[in-house]
Amino acid sequence: MKHTNLGRTGLRVSGLCLGTMNFGWHAAEPESFKMMDRALEQGVNFFDTANVYGGKRGEGVTEQILGRWFRQGGGRREGVVLATKVYGATGDGPNERGLSAYHIRRACEDSLRRLETDHIDLYQMHHIDRHAPWEEIWQAMERLVQEGKVLYVGSSNFAGWHIAQANSVAASRHFMGLVSEQSLYNLAQRTIELEVIPACRAFGLALLPWSPLAGGLLGGVQSSDEGVRRLTPHIQRRIERYRNQLQRYEELCRKWGESAADVALAWLLANPDVTAPIVGPRTLEQLEAGFHAAEIQLSDEQRASLDEIWPGPGGEAPEAYAW
């Protein structure tokens, strides 16, 4: 497994990030433990979670699973770059959500307790909070960093201008600011190529794509009627919308002798702007498939063929839509 720097930091992370959103929901705890053990064995040292994963508002079910896995020892916590998130509702109260200093501090303490650790390596804002000023957010994050409870701060689902605004204010406070951005990015959803990716490049942020298979759309859905029936109504509607593209895509993957899911992930891994796609397996078998994708080397010709089927927005803004 290749490792690379997390954006402009000196921290080294694996080229794949283990996403844990399915732990405690689609994957029971024993299966989740097996996946984390296997990931660590294969050199995947970057694990991503969130305080709202696992359902059951306020309980942080997925974080608790990770905490019990760390409790087993054997170098598990020491071997993992641990990322979690803050923003989502953790209760019914008016201050139990968002990015107020009040909520950030309480949410961090709760995550530390559930994860059974004394620090979070990458603390990510799960969404922009338009009602919280950056001075307040950075004051809270600076305090957590000073206390050693957080090492780095990242974002998720930010627009390009949010990244620019956040890091400009951070710089004025002599604070490092954002070092990573998690964005929806895959062959079928390439909007971030307009402004988010250029912003990440300009400010030295690691790009961590989530939903690399577009919620299963790029996982070979055309090949199995049973597979289609298992997908959500939303994805089934998208299958109808993209049916012609999916047929061409899956035929191309078969021609190359690779699965559709592996090609979709390999396409992200071939992008120099991508630091680590977040793979969110439900089973150990799905995790193993991700390891194979990391070995696929797509040629320029193959990438061009994929662009023909799944065209992006036309490049970066403003050239993508203006002279």
Catalytically annotated residues:
53
3-state helix, strand, coil in the chain (%, to 5): 45, 15, 40
**What token pair was written down for 123?**
């603390």
| Cα Rg of the chain (Å, integer) | 20
The burial of 180, by beta-carbon neighbours within 10 Å (0-12 exposed, 13-18 middle, 19 or more buried), is given as buried
CA distance 227 to 211: 18
Total residue length of the chain: 323
What order do you get walking across the sheet with 150-156 strand by strand?
206-210, 178-184, 150-156, 120-125, 81-86, 46-48, 17-19, 278-279
How many other CB atoms are there within 10 angstroms of residue 321's CB atom?
A: 10
Q: β-strand 46-48 against 17-19: which pairing, if any?
A: parallel
Q: Which among 54, 46, 60 is positioned nearest to 108, based on CA atoms?
A: 60
Retrieve residue 214's tokens.
């577009």
